[in-house]
A and B are shown apart, each in its own frame.
Chain A
Amino acid sequence: MTSSASPSPDRAPSRGPDRAPSRGGPAGRRDSPRRVTGRLPWMLLVPAVLGLAFLVLPLAGLLVRAPWPTLLQRLAEPQVLQALRLSLVTASIATAVCLVLGVPLAWLLARVSFPGRRVVRALVTVPLVLPPVVGGVALLLLLGRRGLLGQWLESTFGLTLPFTSAGVVVAEAFVAMPFLVISVEGALRGADQRFEEAAATLGASRWTVFRRVTLPLIMPGIVAGAVLCWARALGEFGATITFAGNFPGTTQTMPLAVYLALETEPEAAIVLSLVLLAVSVIILASLRDRWVNTP
Chain B
Amino acid sequence: MATVLEVRGVTKAFPGVVALEDVEFAVDAGEVVALIGENGAGKSTLMKVLAGVHRPDVGEVRLDSKPVTFHRPADALRQGIALIHQELELCENLTVAGALFLGAELRRGPFLRSREMAVRAREVTARLGLDVDPDRLVETLAPGQQQLLEIARALRADARVLIMDEPTSSLTQRETERLLAVVDELRAAGVAIVYISHRLGEVQQIADRVVALRDGKNSGSCAGSDASHDRLVAMMVGREVGSSDRQPHEPGDVALAVRGLATTAYPAHAIDFTVRRGEIVGIAGLLGAGRTEVLRALFGADPRAAGVVEVAGVALDREGPEAAIAAGLALVPEDRKREGLVLPMTVAQNVALPTLRRRGRWLDRAYERDLTDRAIGELGIATAGGSQVAGTLSGGNQQKIVLAKWLAADPVVLLLDEPTRGVDVGARAEIHDRLHELAGDGLAVLFVSSEMEEILTLADRALVMHEGRLAGELGRDELSEAAILRLAVGSV
Partners in one complex: no
Residues of A at the B interface (CB closer than 8 Å) are: none
Residues of B at the A interface (CB closer than 8 Å) are: none
